[in-house]
Amino acid sequence: INAMIRRINEIGGNNFEILWVAYRDYSEGGRILESSGWAADASQLQNFVNGIHCHGGDDCEEAVEHALQLARNEHRLKTISRVILIGDAPPHFEKKGQVLTGHPGVVLVTDYMREAEELRKLGVPVHCFRVGNHEGTKETFQSIATATGGQFSDLSPDALIHAVCTNVLMDIGGEELVMEYRERFQ
């Protein structure tokens, strides 16, 4: 996080904010989502990330639909330019209105593809990064990225840093700042 913020500040200034959100699954009860709040301060974002604690769930899937829905709701309050989705497990495959397998009594109020489509309509691309090698995560994250005009990649520290920096710099000053970033750091 420090490297990302430092690079962005060096090239484009500090006219940006990042909202970092951790998502989990329904077995976590009321802790499905945690948010950093909008910030441009590296230490604030790093402290938030350091405080994230995830535990193994009752199934493989995660509540990706909640993270995407939060992004859509945030866009209504404050225009967002893109979403970066990072995960090691695929979203639930059930559709809106269906009961989740392994979570008795939990009915989906939305689903990940419905949210991806809503974000596409709003012009908000979702760039997806897979942690690990779960094939279902790759397939669903690719479909989310494709549906929204985003990109998919396996996560590496460099890939994440470059994605965040180039996307923020594009918002701040366009292709000229992105080209300067690539000359200096890629």
- What is the structure's pLDDT at 15? 85
CB atoms within 10 A of CB 84: 19
| Cβ density class 89-113: b for 16+ within 10 Å, e for less | bbbbebeeeeebeebeebebebbbb
- Report pLDDT digits (tens) over 48-80: 999 988 766 555 899 999 999 999 999 999 999
Q: Is the pLDDT of residue 139 over 60?
A: yes
Q: What would the pLDDT profile of 88-108 be if each residue is shown by its tens digit?
A: 999 999 999 999 988 888 999
Beta bridge partners of 87: 130
Q: Which pLDDT value is given to residue 58?
A: 52
Q: Which residue has the higher pLDDT, 139 or 59?
A: 139
pLDDT in the model for residue 23? 94
Taking all residues of the chain, what is their mean pLDDT, rounded to a whole number? 92
pLDDT above 70 for 171: yes
